[in-house]
A and B are shown apart, each in its own frame.
Chain A
């Protein structure tokens, strides 16, 4: 990172803050830091606190994180939104998570949006009766394996007890029915909803099916939502390596996989932010260790596969993993080298999600593109600075609001998957359990990190620094493009993908190459705007 850019960013930071009233400026200042990757001198960034009212945020709500992100992609659960119609409608197939039913008899309920469509009378007199009936009807029509009930804002206020309704209906219908108190206002962002979803899936589903599959290397993949088919590519690679994927939370998943997930021997975490809670709880209750992996980027994929092989320690697996990497990489290399000739040296800004702004830096680095500014939408300090800061994170009213489950080892089913000696040996090899070093450790010194970037700040940042590409979501996409900068949507991939794994990396190189080198940007200024005198000469 050049000294100049660091200085420019310092100036930009001051300019961005100047527009706010004093109090708001003081608050926002803590969310904007100039990076230092050295853990000793890394600055502290404020994250996971309430967005200031009137500051237009990228963030969604608790309901969005719970129903929309974590539970939504499970294909055979009927998800009923208990509330007025908007919330259900807006979360209806808008995340592009894909699913592949195993055969024609398998369920695919992802095309459906179930809602109680509460009306004024329900708000005044209570909606429990309507909810009960809705659950019965949904069961009668679809005979699903399970039904989830999701609370929206007014439900919490009028005091409908979705959990009591769930218990009654479970009794009456004889299938699993569970509720989520994920009212939109509960947390600071969708992050609270992830936590609530983790808790309820842990309480009500994980551990229901003790069947142990006859296979050698059983893992779960946590926090992979199969946007644009990412999970399909990861499944392909794992299968090729002979690794048995018990469950993915929750891309291309079934209720049954969740019920059986506790029989795996390793939890691999993709999106740390949305799913680390359940990994911790499964480790305590069932003795399954977890590690952080990343399948975004060909190098990162190879590294993650090696890490899994190292965990199992079986030379046969290690050999097979190496063989797969050796088979896959030449094709990747070919495309990478070609795209790199046109992409190298270009600059990137990423403001998106709770893990994507970090993971995609690997892919851009493979193209020789530099990430100069980044930030998350709803992550916490540990996702920026690493889990080492966990003990120092302040617990505020909003975090206290979300239930922390007290988990104990299961008297019968707890079995730590590694002996103390094995753990010690792995650690001696530099193997990290339960660790995530965060985004800032990977970013260059002097780059700009902004948490929960506001719409206004983003527009200013683009106007001042004109990156070669800006990655965000659909809400940001069109304003970025209006300013003449290409935008890559990293929530939905602009209808493209997959970007995970080896084949995904090739797709990404191709897409980014097209974006940053497209001719269209050259037409923005009309010839007579570029060179008025010349035109006048021609006309004469």
Chain B
């Protein structure tokens, strides 16, 4: 495993990460009746809304405390309190998730103090639950904001009590289709569950008969409260650090049995999730999934000869990169470049541990930008790029096909519906990858075979 040194440049050229409060906003929108509120300049809310919207192709309302120049000097407390009042009056939310920004963090606004004041002053009935999280964009990336927010919600809302026949699962930043798949799996295991966040409907819903103040769907606050009484909890994502792992918190605080698994991409990691659920419930793995697994293996057999020895460069959210790398290794594709703009410090170790047979063949890079990814790609000449839309210029320039996964997808439709997880998601990725490689070969062929 070649762990690449972080770029020595001071200038970041075409970043491979987004900022902290984006992750927070998405998590909050995965909670029923919630409105996210960013404490800072209105530009943050606008930029993050437009970015999430261009991926999900769904509306998202994010409020802001709209700092002015004087707020930067005297503090943003009054503006935040005003924002809360106005959001409550317009939307009657049951939950407001407040995330900080670099602006409010730099001036050192004390959110708890401001909210204590607000709680004393605001006496009207129907006050929503207020949850806060610290997400300055000069720390970490959107993925850190995402995990920190899940943990903050759990810390501030979950309560203990006698255990229930319920499993909580924190899936990380996956697609709306992935969330639907996880819920289907949990249902098929006969479980009552909490998936947090759950933006499968709020960020991928149908048409509206009547005007909706807040898009319907999301994890219910009651369920989040009950998380401390789960019989087990699963954090997906091997690179999630202990202090941002909400499952770890539930274990320490309420003694919930806790698991940290990889994103279920590929046979091995999906098997692990299925087996874990079987152990937790004492039930067999439902026939439906055994059949899906069978079809996937059958497809592996049918197509492995087109894949063997091919090289892929993967970039994006660290756990998605890891999941796809493990899956590719199963089918004989070498994930020669595993890159992320985030800095988890764990991606290299996990790869080394999970794919020891590829020692020396993988270059792992954390904290990288697309200019450095380009340098690596030019050196290694992979057959495929796998990642979000931001890799398109590189694909266009190098002529290497791009398989779009993860976030953001804003040059195609349906980014929110890309299924990555489970046997079914793997099947979808697998078919796409094989076909893309066949297409590239077909296009290069002087004859243009249309029969294999």
Chain A residues engaging chain B, CB cutoff 8 angstroms = 19-21, 24, 50-64, 80, 83-92, 94, 111-120, 122-123, 130-131, 133-135, 137-138, 141, 152-154, 156-158, 184-186, 189, 397-398, 401, 454-456, 459-460, 462-463, 473-479, 482-484, 524
Task: Given A55-B90, A460-B211, answer yes or no on A185-B22 (Cβ-Cβ < 8 Å).
Answer: no
- Which residues does chain A contribute within 8 Å of B121, judged by CB atoms? none
Residue of B nearest to A186 (CB): B69
Q: List 23 A-B contacts (CB under 8 A).
A: A21-B86, A54-B83, A54-B90, A61-B42, A61-B43, A64-B43, A64-B47, A80-B11, A87-B43, A89-B17, A111-B393, A114-B11, A115-B12, A134-B10, A153-B101, A154-B103, A158-B106, A184-B44, A185-B103, A454-B90, A475-B59, A478-B59, A479-B59
Check B89–A113 contact: CB distance below 8 A. Answer: no
**At the interface, yes or no: B79 with Cβ under 8 Å from chain A?**
yes
Chain B residues engaging chain A, CB cutoff 8 angstroms = 9-15, 17-22, 37, 40-51, 53-54, 57-59, 61-72, 79-80, 82-87, 89-91, 101-103, 106-107, 136-139, 141, 205, 207-208, 210-213, 393
Measured CA separation A184–B137 after assembly (Å): 14
Task: Given A51-B42, A157-B72, answer yes or no on A89-B18 (Cβ-Cβ < 8 Å).
Answer: yes
Check A19–B89 contact: CB distance below 8 A. Answer: yes
- What 3 A-B pairs come out closest when comparing CB atoms? A61-B43, A86-B19, A54-B86
Check B89–A21 contact: CB distance below 8 A. Answer: yes
Check A84–B102 contact: CB distance below 8 A. Answer: yes
Pick the residue among A84, A94, A131, A141 that contacts B138 (CB under 8 A).
A84
Q: How far is the CB of B101 from chain A (nearest CB, A)?
A: 7
Check A455–B61 contact: CB distance below 8 A. Answer: yes
Pick the residue among B14, B50, B66, B207 that contacts A53 (CB under 8 A).
B66
Check B137–A85 contact: CB distance below 8 A. Answer: yes
Q: How far is the CB of A157 from chain B (nearest CB, A)?
A: 5
- Which residues does chain A contribute within 8 Å of B42, judged by CB atoms? 51, 57, 59-61, 184, 189
Check B86–A185 contact: CB distance below 8 A. Answer: no
Q: How far is the CB of B79 from chain A (nearest CB, A)?
A: 5
Task: Given A54-B63, A482-B59, answer yes or no on A133-B107 (Cβ-Cβ < 8 Å).
Answer: no
Task: Given A89-B19, A482-B59, answer yes or no on A116-B211 (Cβ-Cβ < 8 Å).
Answer: no
- Which residues does chain B contribute within 8 Å of A462, judged by CB atoms? 211
Measured CA separation A184–B64 after assembly (Å): 13
Measured CA separation A108–B19 after assembly (Å): 26
Check A114–B65 contact: CB distance below 8 A. Answer: no
Measured CA separation A153–B12 after assembly (Å): 18
Check A475–B50 contact: CB distance below 8 A. Answer: yes
Measured CA separation A133–B10 after assembly (Å): 6
Check B44–A54 contact: CB distance below 8 A. Answer: no
Measured CA separation A60–B50 after assembly (Å): 10
Task: Given A51-B66, A474-B50, answer yes or no on A483-B59 (Cβ-Cβ < 8 Å).
Answer: no
Check A113–B82 contact: CB distance below 8 A. Answer: no
Check B48–A90 contact: CB distance below 8 A. Answer: yes
Pick the residue among B13, B21, B106, B208 that contacts A86 (CB under 8 A).
B21
Check B61–A184 contact: CB distance below 8 A. Answer: no
Check B138–A154 contact: CB distance below 8 A. Answer: yes
Q: How far is the CB of A173 from chain B (nearest CB, A)?
A: 14
Check B15–A157 contact: CB distance below 8 A. Answer: no
Check A120–B139 contact: CB distance below 8 A. Answer: yes
Check A90–B71 contact: CB distance below 8 A. Answer: no
Q: How far is the CB of A315 from chain B (nearest CB, A)?
A: 49
Q: How far is the CB of B332 from chain A (nearest CB, A)?
A: 34
- Which residues does chain A contribute within 8 Å of B207, judged by CB atoms? 482, 484, 524
Pick the residue among A133, A460, A475 that contacts B49 (CB under 8 A).
A475
Question: Which of A90, A158, A186, A463 lies at the interface centre, i.e. has the most chain B CB atoms within 10 A of its CB?
Answer: A90
Task: Given A57-B46, A153-B41, A397-B69, answer yes or no on A20-B106 (Cβ-Cβ < 8 Å).
Answer: no
A64-B43, A86-B22 known, 11 other contacts, Cβ within 8 Å: A53-B79, A54-B82, A56-B64, A84-B138, A85-B18, A90-B50, A111-B14, A153-B41, A473-B50, A474-B54, A524-B207
Task: Given A52-B82, A54-B86, A60-B46, answer yes or no on A153-B106 (Cβ-Cβ < 8 Å).
Answer: yes
Pick the residue among A88, A463, A484 that contacts B15 (CB under 8 A).
A88
Measured CA separation A394–B64 after assembly (Å): 26
Check B15–A89 contact: CB distance below 8 A. Answer: yes
Measured CA separation A479–B45 after assembly (Å): 17
Task: Given A21-B86, A463-B211, answer yes or no on A114-B61 (Cβ-Cβ < 8 Å).
Answer: no
Measured CA separation A209–B149 after assembly (Å): 53
Question: Which of A20, A122, A460, A479 lies at the interface centre, i.e. has the most chain B CB atoms within 10 A of its CB?
Answer: A479
Task: Given A114-B13, A483-B211, answer yes or no on A87-B47 (Cβ-Cβ < 8 Å).
Answer: yes
Check A20–B14 contact: CB distance below 8 A. Answer: no
Question: Which of B82, B84, B90, B91 lies at the interface centre, i.e. has the most chain A CB atoms within 10 A of its CB?
Answer: B90
- Which residues does chain A contribute within 8 Å of B50, judged by CB atoms? 90, 94, 473-475
- Which residues does chain A contribute within 8 Å of B11, judged by CB atoms? 80, 114-116, 133-135, 137-138
Task: Given A80-B11, A85-B19, answer yes or no on A184-B41 (Cβ-Cβ < 8 Å).
Answer: yes
- Which residues does chain A contribute within 8 Å of B86, judged by CB atoms? 20-21, 24, 52-55
Q: How far is the CB of B324 from chain A (nearest CB, A)?
A: 22
Pick the residue among B48, B68, B210, B212 that contacts A185 (CB under 8 A).
B68
